[in-house]
């Protein structure tokens, strides 16, 4: 554990006065409200969009970087804008593809101690920065007509499973969740089938909440088929 992490734990365990607690909580509430207000105001005008998730560590020469750029470009050619986490890697590829396709390119960035910085392919008026992960995730879910999930790490899995959970528990309406890369996601799917379903922790029907594909065309086809009978609007 580095000294900074140790200091944060010690500060968290320190006894605080009621006045300190009240002051800190009040400022946090105002900050949270301001992030919601800014997000709602800017994103309410963006039109139909699809969010692309994936690793910030993916390099431009990686096949999934190139595939993400292709997916984003083809989304714009089918009338969708693109939302990403605004950082490097897969996020950069998504915004780059949207920019190349002359479509809406949104970045929902977050302040992190590593990895994260704005990529240059985001529309200047659609570049938001958040301090709170949960506020940022609300924006993804509310203003996305679909999730396209490329290979990634813990953050990508967090965003994927939150969306699946919200749909499964009927807290939001269903929308397409598309995992790209059958080889990459195969191990996770095997575990879901052999452990979660086998133990009775989810039902077999829950596998229908997402689709796994290998190509950009398959992803776009699934999106278009899903929305062929629906009008597009925010999810809640």
Q: What is the mean pLDDT of residues 190-197?
A: 97
In this prediction, residue 136 carries a pLDDT of 97
Q: What percent of the chain has pLDDT over 90?
A: 81
In this prediction, residue 127 carries a pLDDT of 95
DSSP state of 196: I
Q: What is the mean pLDDT of residues 142-148?
A: 97
- Mean pLDDT, rounded, of the chain: 91
- Joined together, the tokens standing for residue 143 give 């203003």
Residue 233 falls inside a structural domain: no
Domain with 197 in it: 14-227
Is the pLDDT at 84 greater than 70, yes or no? yes
Residue 111 and residue 129: Cα distance in Å, rounded?
7
Residue 181 falls inside a structural domain: yes
Contact between 89 and 55 under an 8 Å Cβ cutoff? The reply is yes
Tens-digit pLDDT profile for residues 1-39: 666 666 666 666 667 776 666 667 788 899 999 999 999
Residue 234 falls inside a structural domain: no
In this prediction, residue 21 carries a pLDDT of 63
The pTM for the full model equals 0.89
Residue 9 falls inside a structural domain: no
In this prediction, residue 115 carries a pLDDT of 56
CATH number at residue 42: 3.40.50.450
Residue 123 falls inside a structural domain: yes
Contact between 140 and 128 under an 8 Å Cβ cutoff? The reply is no
Residue 4 falls inside a structural domain: no
Give the relative orientation of helices 133-143 and 154-168 as an angle to the nearest 10 degrees.
60
How many structural domains are present in the chain? 1
Contact between 55 and 90 under an 8 Å Cβ cutoff? The reply is yes
Residue 57 falls inside a structural domain: yes
Give the residue with greater pLDDT, 194 vs 111. Answer: 194
Give the residue with greater pLDDT, 3 vs 202. Answer: 202
Q: How sure is the predictor about 145, in pLDDT bands with cuts at 50, 70 and 90?
A: very high
Residue 31 falls inside a structural domain: yes
In this prediction, residue 178 carries a pLDDT of 98
Please, which residues have CB within 8 angstroms of residue 132's CB and are 6 or more apart in sequence? 31, 32, 35
Q: What percent of the chain has pLDDT over 70?
A: 87
């Amino acid at each position: 554990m580095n000294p900074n992490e140790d200091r944060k734990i010690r500060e968290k365990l320190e006894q605080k006065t009621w006045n300190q607690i009240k002051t800190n909580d009040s400022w946090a509430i105002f900050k949270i409200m301001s992030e919601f207000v800014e997000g709602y105001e800017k994103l309410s005008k963006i039109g139909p969009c699809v969010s692309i998730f994936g690793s910030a560590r993916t390099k431009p020469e990686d096949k999934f970087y190139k595939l993400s750029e292709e997916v984003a470009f083809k989304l714009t050619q089918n009338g969708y804008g693109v939302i990403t986490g605004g950082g490097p890697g897969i996020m950069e590829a998504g915004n780059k593809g949207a920019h190349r396709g002359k479509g809406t390119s949104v970045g929902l960035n977050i302040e992190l101690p590593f990895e994260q910085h704005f990529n240059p392919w985001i529309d200047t008026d659609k570049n938001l920065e958040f301090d709170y992960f949960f506020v940022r995730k609300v924006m993804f879910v509310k203003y996305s007509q679909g999730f396209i999930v490329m290979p990634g790490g813990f953050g990508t899995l967090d965003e994927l499973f939150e969306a699946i959970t919200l749909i499964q528990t009927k807290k939001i309406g269903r929308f397409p969740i598309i995992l790209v890369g059958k080889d990459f996601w195969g191990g996770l799917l095997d575990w879901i089938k052999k452990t979660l379903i086998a133990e009775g922790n989810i039902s077999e029907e829950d596998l229908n909440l997402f689709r796994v594909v290998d190509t950009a065309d398959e992803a776009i086809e699934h999106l278009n088929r899903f929305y062929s009978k629906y009008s597009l609007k925010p999810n809640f």
